[in-house]
């Protein structure tokens, strides 16, 4: 158990709906990362936070995606006007700044867009 | 897009045998990490090797790194059925994000 939790674990939605996912790292995780993983592929980087500051965003993160980490604790990832191509596993990972960037992943949220 | 590739894409062995997976990457790295992922679950960190290290051991795991060839290998000795999973390598460059390969699916049969 990495101590990182994600909610919900599964989400089924209809195309065009908005969805929001939540990630709760442990308190020592200064950095928090979001990745997206499609079937048969490795995870792809979306964005990351150092405390509450969002420091980098991937080109994969279109303007329909927004992420926040208020107060530098939990984080949310929102997808607006979902498309079938958004169907994937969304993973978050926490990192202690003092380490070598070992990332501790949550169980993921599997999104299915119908 | 993926920056690395694992080889083979799939590997099937019997319990007790050794499993070797290879990883190649494209850009310079500060360290390389290996992760395991059971079907439909999150990733579990296995081992990290820094760019100035050539070999590292952790339990039944042995990792090598050849920065001149931009490649790494993961050896799992005396495999068990519970080792059945997908294995990913991931490099960390100047940015701290991980760049994952496409993974090796390992099947260990009794």
pLDDT tens-digit readout, A62-76: 999 999 999 889 999
Q: What is the pLDDT of residue B35?
A: 95
Of all residues in chain A, the one with the smallest CA distance to B38 is A107
Q: Is the pLDDT of residue B9 over 80?
A: yes
Could you tell me which chain A residue has the CA closest to the CA of B100? A42
Ranges under pLDDT 70 in chain A:
none
How far, in Å, CA of A44 to CA of A1, rounded?
Answer: 22
Contacts of A59 in chain B (CB under 8 A): none
Alpha carbon distance B21, B61 (integer Å): 11
Residue B95, CA distances (Å) to A19, B3, B26 in order? 29, 14, 15
**Half-sphere exposure at residue B110, Cβ-oriented, CA atoms within 13 angstroms:** 1
Q: Using CB atoms within 10 Å of the CB of residue B59, give its burial: 0 to 12 exposed, 13 to 18 middle, 19+ buried.
A: exposed
| Nearest-angstrom CA–CA distance, A29 and B42 | 17
Q: Do B42 and A108 touch (CB under 8 A)?
A: yes
Mean pLDDT of chain B: 91
DSSP-derived secondary structure letter, A14:
-
pLDDT of residue B5: 81
């Amino acid at each position: 158990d990495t101590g990182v939790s994600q909610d919900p674990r599964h989400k089924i939605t209809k195309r065009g709906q908005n969805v929001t996912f939540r990630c709760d790292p442990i308190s020592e995780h200064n950095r928090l990362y979001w990745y997206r993983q499609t079937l048969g592929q490795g995870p792809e980087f979306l964005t990351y936070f150092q405390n509450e500051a969002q420091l980098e965003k991937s080109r994969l993160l279109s303007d329909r995606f927004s992420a926040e980490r208020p107060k530098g604790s939990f984080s949310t990832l929102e997808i607006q006007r979902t498309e079938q191509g958004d169907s994937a596993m969304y993973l978050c990972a926490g990192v202690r700044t003092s380490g070598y960037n070992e990332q501790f992943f949550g169980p993921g949220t599997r999104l299915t867009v119908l | 897009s993926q920056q690395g590739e694992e080889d083979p894409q799939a590997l099937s062995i019997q319990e007790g045998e050794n499993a070797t997976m290879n990883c190649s990457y494209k850009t310079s790295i500060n360290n390389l990490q290996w992760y395991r992922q059971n079907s439909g679950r999150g990733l579990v960190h296995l081992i990290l090797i820094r760019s100035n290290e050539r070999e590292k051991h952790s339990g039944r795991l042995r990792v090598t790194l050849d920065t001149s060839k931009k490649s790494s290998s993961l050896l799992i000795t005396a495999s068990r059925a519970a080792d059945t999973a997908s294995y990913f390598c991931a490099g960390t460059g100047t940015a701290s994000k991980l760049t994952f390969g496409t993974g090796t699916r390992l099947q260990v049969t009794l």
